[in-house]
Amino acid sequence: MKPTNNALTRRKFIATTGAAVAGAMITRPGTSMIIPGKPLAKKRLALVGTGIRGTTFWGRRVLENYSDLIDFVGLCDINPGRVEFAKNYMNATCPTFTNFDEMMAKTKPDMLIVTTVDATHHEFIIKGLEMGVEVLTEKPLTTDEVKCQKILEAERKSGKKLKVGFNYRYGPHTTKIKELLVSNEVGNITSVDFHWYLNVYHGASYFRRWHGIRSRSGTLLVHKATHHFDLLNWWIDSDPVEVFAYGDLEHYGRNHSFRGDKCRNCPHQTKCKFYWDITTDQMLMDLYVKNEHFDGYIRDNCLWREEIDIYDKMAVQIKYANNVQVSYSLTTYSPYEGWRITFNGMNGRLESWLDIPWRKDEKINQAELHAREMEQEATETNTDYEEIIMMNNFENYRMIKLSKERSGHGGGDQRLQDQIFRNPDMPDPFRHAAGSRDGAMSVLIGIAARKSIESGKPVRLEDLTDLVPEKVRPVMK
């Protein structure tokens, strides 16, 4: 295909499409619909797991933005110092607990928010559902197929609906891709290439803490890739049926000539390129370092620990029930952070990417980029753009540009919360809201990939739980 004059295409595009198109597809932060009527009783929230995600995104920010609709009635963590810090940081007035059962019995919440270490999510999800409470869990739903099956059964018995916080779905960029796929402009999709690059700051951060231990995180194929597999399932709109994967640990962990206890007191500080000074971050000092004497949770652990047993490079092939085949990879020590995706259709091709540095005029500071991506206190919109290319097999391409939102996972975080707390009944044309089946289907790909790496054989998802993969993802009521 001959590319058209780029400058012309670009000008024409800005004149005809522009950011407004994408922005119109989903309610933007701060512009939620408020339906007049009788004031509702405030929802009583309890939260378990007051680490960084629980304290900031599901804690302080929820109180700041939705205090007309919710009250926190209890906070729980196994670390007494961290849960006290969380209460103060959130400006909450509720009691704190180190015993989950006691919190639930004493506070009788309407909704439980689960933000603990991944491998423990199932304990609280199942107990919450058994108590008849609405449960919202952070991703990943869980870390193995046995726990997954137990969660599915608990939900069926409870009659309550479990919500899974898949924030990436809600971003304007991911939503625009969904909209374009729904329009079927590139024809029926036959294959997808999806490659995700974690840079040496963000990628390394997973190896400093519990994420590096497979019994806690299920490996990054579950902890991190659950986001990516969920996006694939949602975009492709079919269920995964079979997975084959390779993975290895070649960079972090035991693969190094020296190692220390933790960055703070490491004798190798000057020669280790990954040295990270946690003492410059007051929030992390207050949340973790000041409370490590309670439970030994070291936030700035050595990346070269022998105990690390997850993969740092991963390649996964996924076959879907509608015959789409996916090539996915996850890299954890890239010089830049970003991703690339291509959908090959019968009539053309949809391509997109995020943060590929040589496509930018500006020089991207990778350390700062990670910090901004994880920022959960503000929503920053800048003048940068996301790009999507739509190509017809026999015509010129069309470039679509969307104004970029960097903070809070591409702007997805706040839209997710708006739908949960402010507008639960708002129209959801692209089915952003995710439940247990979505949570399960995404972690089952990662679990199957893990099993495939270990066995050297393909793994069928129908062999893992009683969920039956369907050609078109069913609508869950």
Ligand X SMILES: NC(=O)c1ccc[n+]([C@@H]2O[C@H](COP(=O)([O-])OP(=O)(O)OC[C@H]3O[C@@H](n4cnc5c(N)ncnc54)[C@H](O)[C@@H]3O)[C@@H](O)[C@H]2O)c1
372 binds ligand X (CB under 6 A): no
Q: Which is nearer to ligand X, 351 or 373 (CB)?
A: 373
Binding piece for ligand X, criterion CB under 6 A, among 23-31, 114-122, 267-275, 378-386? 114-122
Q: What is each CA distance from 143 to 35, 149, 414, 447, 454, in whole angstroms?
A: 39, 11, 26, 7, 16
Task: Output the smallest distance, CB 454 to ligand X, in A.
Answer: 22
| Cβ atoms of 61 and 420 closer than 8 Å | no
Of 116, 219, 414, 442, the residue at the interface with ligand X (CB under 6 A) is 116
Task: Output the smallest distance, CB 244 to ligand X, in A.
Answer: 25
Q: Whose CA is closest to 426, among 32, 137, 162? A: 32
Task: Output the smallest distance, CB 327 to ligand X, in A.
Answer: 24
> What is the Rg, in whole angstroms, of the alpha carbon atoms belonging to the chain?
22
Of 19, 22, 74, 77, the residue at the interface with ligand X (CB under 6 A) is 77
Alpha carbon dihedral 196, 387, 227, 424, in 10-degree steps, equals 170
Of 96, 142, 158, 167, the residue at the interface with ligand X (CB under 6 A) is 167
Task: Output the smallest distance, CB 101 to ligand X, in A.
Answer: 11
Q: Which is nearer to ligand X, 242 or 413 (CB)?
A: 413
Task: Output the smallest distance, CB 165 to ligand X, in A.
Answer: 5
Q: Which is nearer to ligand X, 12 or 264 (CB)?
A: 264
First-to-last alpha carbon distance for the chain, in angstroms, is: 44
What DSSP assignment string belongs to 291-353? Answer: GHHHH---TTB-TT-TT--S-SEEEEEEEETTS-EEEEEEEEEESS-EEEEEEEESSEEEEEE
Binding piece for ligand X, criterion CB under 6 A, among 27-35, 117-125, 359-367, 422-430? 117-125
Task: Output the smallest distance, CB 50 to ligand X, in A.
Answer: 5
Q: Which is nearer to ligand X, 116 or 238 (CB)?
A: 116
Q: Kindly state the DSSP code that residue 13 receives in the 8-state scheme.
A: H
Task: Output the smallest distance, CB 139 to ligand X, in A.
Answer: 5
Q: Which is nearer to ligand X, 170 or 333 (CB)?
A: 170
What DSSP assignment string belongs to 392-434? Answer: ETTS-EEEEEEEEE-HHHHTHHHHHHIIIII-TTS--TT----
Residues 23-62 that bind ligand X (CB under 6 A): 48-54
Q: Whose CA is closest to 474, among 444, 446, 436, 443? A: 436
Of 44, 61, 82, 176, the residue at the interface with ligand X (CB under 6 A) is 82
Of 96, 107, 120, 366, the residue at the interface with ligand X (CB under 6 A) is 120
220 binds ligand X (CB under 6 A): no
Phi-psi domain of 160 (left: phi exceeds 0; alpha: psi -120 through 50; beta: other):
beta
> Which residue do the tokens 């231990």 mark?
213
Of 70, 103, 111, 117, the residue at the interface with ligand X (CB under 6 A) is 117
Residues 410-449 that bind ligand X (CB under 6 A): none
Q: Which is nearer to ligand X, 143 or 344 (CB)?
A: 143
Q: Which is nearer to ligand X, 49 or 247 (CB)?
A: 49
230 binds ligand X (CB under 6 A): no
| Cβ atoms of 107 and 94 closer than 8 Å | yes
Total residues at interface with ligand X (CB under 6 A) = 23
| Cβ atoms of 191 and 317 closer than 8 Å | no
Q: 287 is written with which tokens?
A: 């949340």
Q: How far apart are CA 316 and CA 327, in angstroms?
A: 6
Q: Which is nearer to ligand X, 50 or 322 (CB)?
A: 50
User: Residue numbers of the site for ligand X (CB under 6 A)?
Assistant: 48-54, 76-79, 82, 115-118, 120, 138-139, 165, 167, 223, 409
